[in-house]
């Protein structure tokens, strides 16, 4: 009796074969019988019971052929499939009610379990035990057909790699065999992996059989490129999209397997592996396999070791790099990156980290630190950065980082490309956006982010966003006080209440206006809650109570009607313009298209040189 766990260890057909020779029988070639002690030692790896992982029994088979974790812990039942609960629930209901499709399409990124699910489906369709004689997802290790199916040796279950069998002749062989009933099992099951690799002719040959298959045949397709599969094929299959496994679920799974292997690894190291796996269980197990040999037997695998193995930068250091960039401290940012690069951080990965930090800061600005899915200290840091940086600046930084990522990937020296991106980002961190720049030019205000020199020769000077926020005195902004109906509509637009603005422009005919009170005639089809919603928003924005009455009569035109009339008048004026008349006359059949007003050209000032360059 052992403490064997069937959920993680292999089924009986994957265990090593015990020697069948009787030790008391003479060898047919005259060799002496083996010594009892030697026989005991030879058989020990097979019959020795497993003990707790802390006792190191996971290494009792040293010298034997090693089986990688991705194969050793491959799911053997549907309950073992992690992160695919929706698919398992649908299949369970379908099998329980007998509504089983004749063709299945499994799609998803690499390593999420498409091929494994296909084999489990083949076993479920032909599930037959002493107590089960129907298609069932209740799989056991002792089914009549399970061993042969898992070994790929069952004559009624055919697996084909479509990547190496792309032609119509390969499909024709399948179609020839489909006509015949299964020999042993309940169904003939055809598993085609990477089905998107089939040729157009092969897909066409498959169509008729998929549309009217014989009752004894089932098809299971798997692909990573669902868009390359013809719609005619997809429409004849029941499709399941296998999801990427969430990081927290994958971390828990990898931790359980490490315990089973009798190895110790830090939780943060598992988080790094899960992040690098990008939702792929197989990739995560392969990386865990690599990580577990980084430490001596019985020793803890450190986070730093895994980080070096993956070529990753310390996330806290990349957050510090992101902070120095957004503060405009160019020399400090460059030194931070060179330190990371010196420790082996990959420039592409550093750029990806900066993108993640920009995204996390933006999301935390709107939804709070819990939305970042980061450790608490990192989430709080990025939340504080997001609160101090305008949303427009974060959005512009995201766009610049995306362009920088492409440059880093194509550059002959990726590290140089990162440094040039840092210089651009740090300089542009607190520059105004196009709309704000235009307003400043119109008002005569300086367009730069501040008067302090940026990126001077010191270790961290520069008038960055954070420095300016700290130095700027706190001023209580005056609440808006619209003095006309048009100013009310403009205020709604400034607050980005697009739906409310459209309703007001379309359904409101102003009768009278004074600050704090609006009477209007409502157009047919107006929302019932429009007056109440408008009053609530105006009170929130202006700090005073507004009386909004929708029972007025004799209102004027809605803003939409006014805008249409103004556009019609403008078009009439343009059509009457002598120059336009002459142009239309010179080109018979020409018509006046859309009328656009061209904004005046904005001259962007030159980038100032460093202040230190003028000093002797």
Question: In the 3-class helix/strand/coil scheme, how is 63-126 assigned residue by residue?
Answer: CCCCCCHHHHCCCCCHHHCCCCHHHHHHHHHHHHHCCCCCEEEEECCCCCCHHHHHHHHHHHHC
Q: Is the pLDDT of residue 42 over 50?
A: no
- Helices assigned H by DSSP within 261-302: 267-277, 281-292
Shared domain for 363 and 466, answered yes or no, is yes
More confident residue, 586 or 16: 586
Average pLDDT (534-558) is 82
Last residue of a domain, one of 508, 533, 556: 556
159 confidence band (pLDDT: 50, 70, 90):
confident
**Sole residue written with tokens 């002719």:** 201
Flag whether 336 is in a domain: yes
φ, ψ of residue 291 to 5 degrees: the values are -75, -35
Look-up: residue for tokens 């010196």? Answer: 342
Structure tokens at 250: 């994958």
DSSP secondary structure, 306-327, as one string: HHHHHTPPPHHHHHHHHHHHHT
- d(CA 437, CA 401) in angstroms, rounded, equals 22
Rounded Cα distance, 513 and 518, in Å:
5
Total domain count, the chain? 4
> Residue 473 contacts by C-beta under 8 Å, 6 or more apart in sequence?
none
State yes or no: pLDDT of 463 exceeds 50: no
422 located within any domain? yes
Long-range contacts of residues 608-612, Cβ cutoff 8 Å, at least 24 apart: 608/448, 608/453, 608/454, 610/453, 610/454, 610/455, 610/456, 610/457, 611/453, 611/456, 612/453, 612/456, 612/457
Is residue 461 within 8 Å of 329, Cβ to Cβ? yes
Do 339 and 387 reside in the same domain of the chain? yes
Q: Model's pTM, two decimal places?
A: 0.52
**Same-domain pairing of 499 and 360:** no
Q: How high is the mean pLDDT of the chain?
A: 78
The answer to whether 340 and 321 are in contact (CB under 8 A) is yes
Instruction: Specify the 3-state DSSP secondary structure of 265.
Output: strand
Same domain? For 340 and 465 the reply is: yes
Kindly report, residue by residue over 253-303, the tens digit of the pLDDT. Answer: 999 998 888 888 888 888 888 888 878 899 889 989 888 888 777 788 888
Kindly list the distances between the CA atom of residue 170 and the CA atoms of 160, 162, 202, in Å, as whole numbers in the listed order: 9, 9, 8
Which residue, among 361, 395, 392, has the nearest Cα to 378 in the 3D structure? 361
Instruction: Tell me, yes or no, whether 301 lies in a domain.
Output: no
Assess whether pLDDT exceeds 70 at residue 308.
yes
Q: Does 489 lie in the same domain as 391? A: no
Contact 233, 203 (CB under 8 A): yes
Is the pLDDT reported for residue 169 higher than 90? no
CA distance 448 to 465: 11
Percent of the chain with pLDDT over 90: 13
Q: State mean pLDDT over 355-363.
A: 91
CATH of the domain at 161: 3.40.50.300
d(CA 300, CA 97): 49
**Residue 464 belongs to a domain with what CATH number?**
1.20.272.10
The rounded distance, in Å, linking the Cα atoms of 597 and 387 is: 37
- Tokens 């193995």, residue located: 309
Q: Is the domain of 97 the same as that of 236?
A: yes
Tokens of residue 369, six digits: 């630190």
395 CB-near residues (< 8 Å, 6+ apart): 362
Range ranked top by mean pLDDT from 151-155, 234-238, 544-548 = 234-238
Q: Is residue 49 part of a domain?
A: yes
Domain boundary among 241, 266, 283: 241
Beta bridge partners of 193: 161, 222
Residue 78 covered by a domain: no
The verdict on residue 590 lying in a domain is no
Same domain, 524 and 387: no
- Residue-level pLDDT at 351: 93
148: in domain:
yes
465 and 495, same domain (yes or no)? no
The three-state (H, E, C) secondary structure of 499-532, written as one string: HHHHHHHHHEEEEEEECCEEEEEECCCCCCCHHH
- 505 with 458, same domain: the answer is no
Distance CA 467, CA 461 (A): 9
User: Is 2 part of a structural domain of the chain?
Assistant: no
Residue 377: which domain range?
A: 315-470
Out of 22-31, 85-94, 451-460, pick the least confident: 451-460
The CA angle 272-277-280, to the nearest 5 degrees, is 145
Closest CA to 499 of 523, 461, 542, 530: 530
The mean pLDDT value for 232-250 works out to 88
Supply the pLDDT for residue 267: 87
Which of 501, 528, 556 is at the close of a domain?
Answer: 556
Q: Check whether residue 19 and residue 57 sit in a common domain.
A: yes
User: Strand pairing of 517-522 and 508-514?
Assistant: antiparallel
237 shares a domain with 105: yes
Which residues have C-beta within 8 Å of that of residue 295, sequence separation ≥ 6? 263, 264, 301, 302, 305
Q: What is the pLDDT of residue 38?
A: 41
Which residues, listed in sequence order, are joined to residue 233 by a DSSP beta bridge? none
Whether 144 and 236 map to the same domain: the answer is yes
Please tell me the distance from the alpha carbon of residue 411 to that of residue 39, in angstroms, as a whole number.
Answer: 62
| Strands of the 157-161 sheet, one edge to the other | 157-161, 188-193, 217-223, 103-107, 238-241
pLDDT of residue 416: 94
């Amino acid at each position: 009796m052992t403490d064997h766990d069937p959920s993680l260890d292999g089924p009986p057909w994957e265990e090593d074969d015990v020697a069948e020779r009787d030790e008391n029988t003479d060898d047919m070639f005259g060799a002496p019988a083996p010594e009892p002690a030697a026989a005991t030692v030879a058989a020990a790896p097979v019959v020795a019971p497993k003990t707790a992982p802390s006792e190191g029994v996971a290494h009792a088979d040293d010298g034997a052929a090693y089986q990688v974790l991705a194969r050793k812990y491959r799911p053997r039942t549907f309950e073992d499939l992690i992160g695919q609960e929706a698919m398992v629930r649908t299949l369970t209901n379908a099998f329980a009610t007998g509504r089983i499709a004749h063709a299945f399409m499994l799609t998803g990124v690499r390593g999420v379990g498409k091929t494994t699910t296909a084999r489990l489906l083949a076993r479920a369709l032909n599930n037959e035990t002493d107590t089960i004689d129907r298609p069932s997802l209740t799989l056991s290790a002792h089914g009549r057909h399970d061993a042969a199916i898992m070994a790929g040796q069952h004559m009624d279950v055919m697996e084909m790699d479509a990547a190496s069998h792309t032609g119509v002749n390969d499909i024709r062989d399948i179609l020839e065999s489909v006509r015949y009933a299964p020999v042993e099992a309940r169904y003939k099951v055809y598993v085609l992996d990477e089905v998107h690799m089939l040729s157009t002719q092969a897909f066409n040959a498959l169509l008729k059989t998929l549309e009217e298959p014989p009752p004894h045949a089932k098809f299971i397709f798997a692909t990573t490129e669902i868009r390359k599969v013809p719609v005619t094929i997809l429409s004849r299959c029941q499709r399941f999209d296998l999801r990427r496994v969430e990081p927290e679920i994958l971390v828990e799974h990898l931790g359980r397997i490490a315990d089973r292997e009798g190895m110790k690894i830090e939780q943060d190291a598992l988080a790094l592996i899960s992040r690098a796996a990008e939702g792929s269980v197989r990739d995560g197990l392969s990386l865990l396999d690599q990580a577990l040999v980084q430490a001596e037997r019985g020793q803890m695998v450190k986070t730093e070791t895994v980080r070096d193995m993956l070529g990753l930068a310390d996330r806290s250091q990349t957050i510090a790099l992101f902070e120095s960039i957004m503060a405009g401290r160019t020399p400090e940012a460059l030194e931070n990156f060179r330190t990371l690069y010196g420790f082996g951080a990959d420039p592409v990965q550093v750029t990806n980290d900066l993108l993640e930090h920009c995204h996390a800061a933006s999301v935390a600005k709107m939804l709070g630190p819990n939305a970042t899915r980061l450790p608490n200290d990192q989430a709080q840091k990025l939340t504080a950065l997001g609160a101090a940086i305008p949303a427009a600046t974060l959005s512009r930084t995201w766009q610049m980082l995306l362009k920088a990522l492409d440059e880093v990937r194509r550059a002959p020296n990726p590290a140089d490309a990162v440094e040039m991106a840092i210089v651009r980002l740090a300089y542009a961190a607190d520059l105004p956006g196009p709309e704000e720049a235009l307003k400043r030019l119109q008002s005569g205000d300086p367009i730069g982010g501040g008067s302090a020199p940026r990126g001077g020769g010191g270790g961290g000077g520069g008038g960055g966003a954070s420095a300016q926020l700290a130095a700027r005195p706190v001023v209580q902004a005056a609440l808006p006080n619209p003095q006309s109906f048009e100013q009310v509509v403009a205020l709604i637009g400034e607050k980005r209440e697009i739906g409310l603005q459209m309703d007001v422009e379309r359904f409101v005919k102003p009768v009278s206006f004074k600050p704090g009170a609006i009477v209007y005639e409502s157009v047919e089809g107006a929302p019932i809650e429009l007056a109440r919603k408008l009053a609530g928003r105006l009170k929130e924005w202006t700090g005073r109570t507004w009386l909004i009455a929708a029972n007025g009569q004799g209102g004027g035109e809605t803003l939409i009607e006014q805008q249409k009339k103004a556009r019609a008048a403008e078009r009439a004026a343009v059509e009457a313009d002598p120059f336009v008349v002459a142009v239309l006359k010179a080109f018979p059949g020409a018509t006046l298209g859309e009328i656009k007003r061209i904004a005046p050209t904005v001259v962007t000032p030159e980038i100032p040189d460093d202040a230190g360059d003028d000093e002797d």
